[in-house]
Amino acid sequence: MPPLMIRQLWSLVETTQATTLVNLDDSSLVQWLLNLFGDQQALDAEESNLLANYIHTRISLIRDLAYDRIAT
């Protein structure tokens, strides 16, 4: 996955309300982030699949960061 796409995704995660990130189930969170990302930048099918897989493998980290933001 291109580094720019990874940076854009993490920027999106950082600007999303933490409660949203922790309240969605895994599948919904992946889909929701994909939709948000797609609103900012057009994705072809391959990019969408790569991004979905990347998000899915980082769900725990995304939630940990969100919980940390809630706690502070």
- In the prediction, which pLDDT does 51 show? 96
Domains of the chain: total: 1
Alpha carbons within 13 A on the beta-carbon side of 10: 8
Q: pTM for the complete prediction?
A: 0.91
Name the residue range of residue 52's domain: 3-71
- In the prediction, which pLDDT does 71 show? 93
16 has pLDDT over 90:
yes
Give the contacts of 63 (CB within 8 A, at least 6 positions apart): 21, 22
Question: Mind listing the pLDDT tens digit for each residue in 27-52?
Answer: 999 999 999 999 999 999 999 999 99
Give the contacts of 40 (CB within 8 A, at least 6 positions apart): 8, 12
Question: Mind listing the pLDDT tens digit for each residue in 51-64?
Answer: 999 999 999 999 99
